[in-house]
A = this chain, B = another copy of it.
């Protein structure tokens, strides 16, 4: 099942054109990913203490509709396994009022160990099942 959070546009997130600035969607997507990981008991602090760092290596965003002041919206997160050591998050930002997609995104991450080598800890491995 797709994980999702509900948020509301804040006026300071809008720019000169009167719409949410493109860069802000990046923040929305990150916040939803972190909430998704928390909900799945992935503990950044614990992983970091074990010298394992989660990092974003690539992001692809398609902008389809602009959110405006006052809009309520969902941010969805769906885990996608890309390879033995790479995982992704298929994400969508959806306006609540009419279910229109504002942004369609794929964010690719990996995790590295103390020596900077790719390494997938058990809990991450389990969260992104190989199909």
Interface residues, chain A, with chain B CB atoms under 8 Å away: 10-12, 14-18, 21-24, 26-27, 30-31, 34, 38, 53, 55-63, 69-70
Contacts and interface: CB of A to CB of B under 8 A. Distances in A.
Given A62-B58, A63-B55, A12 B23 contact: yes
Contacts of A17: 53
29 contacts: A10-B27, A10-B30, A10-B31, A10-B34, A11-B16, A11-B31, A11-B34, A12-B23, A12-B27, A12-B31, A14-B15, A14-B16, A15-B15, A15-B16, A16-B18, A16-B69, A17-B53, A21-B30, A22-B26, A23-B24, A23-B27, A23-B30, A38-B70, A55-B63, A58-B60, A58-B63, A59-B59, A59-B63, A60-B60
